[in-house]
Structure 1
Amino acid sequence: MTLDDAYANAAYIPRAEEFPPRWQAAAASFREALGPRAETGVRYGESDRQVYDFFHPDGVAKGTLIFVHGGYWKAFDRSDWSHLAEGALARGWAVVMPGYDLCPEVRISDITQQIAAAVTAIAERVQGPLVLAGHSAGGHLVSRMLDPLVLPETVRGRIERVAPISPLADLGPLMQTSMNEILRLDTEEAGAESPVNMAVPRGAQIAVWVGADERPAFLDQAEILARTWGARHVIDEGRHHFDVIEPLRDRDSEVVRFICGV
């Protein structure tokens, strides 16, 4: 298809195939080290994938970060990313990572509703501020949570900051990729599910992250979201699509400091 190469990340990342097993190993080690502070598999919906992992800080949480993973809405699992909770957890924040059903079993609009259900369930459980972050397709999903039609106002009003990382903000181009055999996007859904078509969010602070070494299509996606929403736009030098999330492990990184409001 016309835009397959534009949205191909692994083909342009050296030794890309080593990243997923590395993520899985780091995530498993992190959960094991956390012991009883890692509460896994909490159900929020009906399907087996509609569960979340809740990582508790040492002491009373200052707030709750909800991190949504990527994978083009068709790959990966919440358990692959546990280690990315490290930075915010070290700053005293609880971190929750929801799973969701994958395409083609569901459509992207269904996944949006599942994440909304997860965020609502988490909000009912915790006190204090909420912060959302997500990578790639997860960046799309956390952006969608700022739509007034997606979350109840009582929940959306508690969201203080949102960090879409390498987000997919305009879904129209994906209709011109072979991935659409799995995603099944049509013109109506692509338009409705594109954050760039939403009303500009009010209230929450928004910072859009992207790696400087990412594919031009992802640089463009981040730029158009930041520009359309009037959001902060951070281009992380020396980072590509697979390692732009690594700073989430560092309590002193710029992205963790933004998430934690310091």
Structure 2
Amino acid sequence: MTDWDDAFANAAHIPGADAIVASWPLRAKAFRRSGVRIDRDIRYGPRPRNRLDLVWPEGACKGLVVFVHGGFWLDFDKSDWTDLAQGARAHGWAVALPSYTLAPEARISDITAEIGAAVRAAASRVEGPVRLVGHSAGGHLVARMVCDDSPLDPATLNRVEKVLTISGLHDLRPLRHTRMNAVLGLAAWEAARESAALHLPVATIPVTCWVGAGERPEFLHQTRLLAALWHGTTATRLVEERGKNHFSVLDGLGDPESPIVAELLDRCGRSLARFLPQ
């Protein structure tokens, strides 16, 4: 029998996890103090956490990247991740980072709707194409934006050029068997409805499913699952990045020259290997 709590337990299997997590808000704070132009706490809905930050590039803006953070829909805030905007920003893209209402104050289906509102609000402020990227629970949320029941309006959806889901959770049904479900409150109907793997993509928007090769087997499975099930319906790509775990796989978003930023912005063409070197 599968121990589902252990299957989703990332920190327990990453040496120095507590120190890594503690470093995230410090890095983000230092970036915010670096003089980069940031429009902060833009409201996109009525609830207290319905706010986003918008990081602007220098010079002309090529379009909008929206980064949605993870934390099992239970933890973290937009202000923990500001430095991850630097990879796309350095190439001329504006980057929106929304917070969202956390469980148990919101159901996962409510959070999906909130992220739809956040994407719409950010897109109303930035012209040009839109690219969506999210990690873990955020990977789930950006994949839900391009499901056949997308919360995005047609005009915004038509601007979405690409989705990059990093270590995403795409079949939520196993989470019902974890202790965290006492807080998430996932019922069978909601776990099925909120599982991107049980939907079809709404349009032929390219989707890259990215995961660290050293992650927990369940995260590898969930990433491979969406790539396989959506293959043939839209352009999908699976990347398992060697030498990366569930936490370190994020670091590349802050590096303008990293493979993950190249993939997000299509700066690598279609030649990126499925298994990247260390």
TM over 0.5: yes
List structure 1 segments (4+ residues) > 4 angstroms apart after TM superposition: none
Q: Describe the SS at the equivalent of 2:248.
A: coil
Q: Which runs of 5 or more residues in structure 1 are unaligned?
A: none
RMSD (Å) for aligned C-alpha atoms: 1.1
Task: Give the match for residue 168 of structure 1.
Answer: 169
Q: CA deviation at 1:200?
A: 3.0
User: What are the Cα deviations for residues 10-45 of structure 1, in whole angstroms up to 9, with x where unaligned?
Assistant: 00000100112211100000011034x011111111
- Given residue 129 of structure 1, which amino acid in structure 2 is its aligned partner? P
Q: CA deviation at 1:99?
A: 0.5
Q: CA deviation at 1:201?
A: 4.0
- Given residue 82 of structure 1, which amino acid in structure 2 is its aligned partner? T
| Higher RCO structure (Cα 8 Å, ≥6 apart) | 1
Q: TM-score, normalised by structure 2?
A: 0.92
Task: Give the match for residue 226 of structure 1.
Answer: 227
Number of residues of Structure 1 aligned to a counterpart in Structure 2: 261
- Take 1:162 and 1:39, find their aligned partners in 2: how far apart are those partners? 24
Q: Which runs of 5 or more residues in structure 2 are unaligned?
A: 268-278
Task: Give the match for residue 107 of structure 1.
Answer: 107
- Take 1:252 and 1:123, find their aligned partners in 2: how far apart are those partners? 25
- Take 1:200 and 1:259, find their aligned partners in 2: how far apart are those partners? 18
Q: For the Cα contact (< 8 Å) 2:148–2:201, is it kept in 1?
A: no
Matched, 1:48 2:48: yes
Task: Give the match for residue 12 of structure 1.
Answer: 13
- Take 2:38 and 2:242, find their aligned partners in 1: how far apart are those partners? 32
Q: For the Cα contact (< 8 Å) 1:70–1:134, is it kept in 2?
A: yes
Q: CA deviation at 1:205?
A: 1.3
The more displaced of 197-206 and 158-167 is 197-206
User: What are the Cα deviations for residues 32-60 of structure 1, in whole angstroms up to 9, with x where unaligned?
Assistant: 1034x011111111112100000000012
Q: For the Cα contact (< 8 Å) 1:50–1:98, is it kept in 2?
A: yes
Task: Give the match for residue 239 of structure 1.
Answer: 244
- Given residue 46 of structure 1, which amino acid in structure 2 is its aligned partner? P
Matched, 1:78 2:78: yes
- How does 1:144-163 map onto structure 2 within 5 Å? 144-149=144-149, 150-163=151-164
The more displaced of 184-193 and 39-48 is 39-48
- Take 2:266 and 2:35, find their aligned partners in 1: how far apart are those partners? 24
Q: Describe the SS at the equivalent of 1:244.
A: helix
Task: Give the match for residue 59 of structure 2.
Answer: 59
- Given residue 246 of structure 1, which amino acid in structure 2 is its aligned partner? D
User: What are the Cα deviations for residues 72-130 of structure 1, in whole angstroms up to 9, with x where unaligned?
Assistant: 00000010000100110011100000000000011000000000011111122221000
Q: CA deviation at 1:206?
A: 1.0
- Given residue 124 of structure 1, which amino acid in structure 2 is its aligned partner? S
- Take 1:2 and 1:86, find their aligned partners in 2: how far apart are those partners? 38
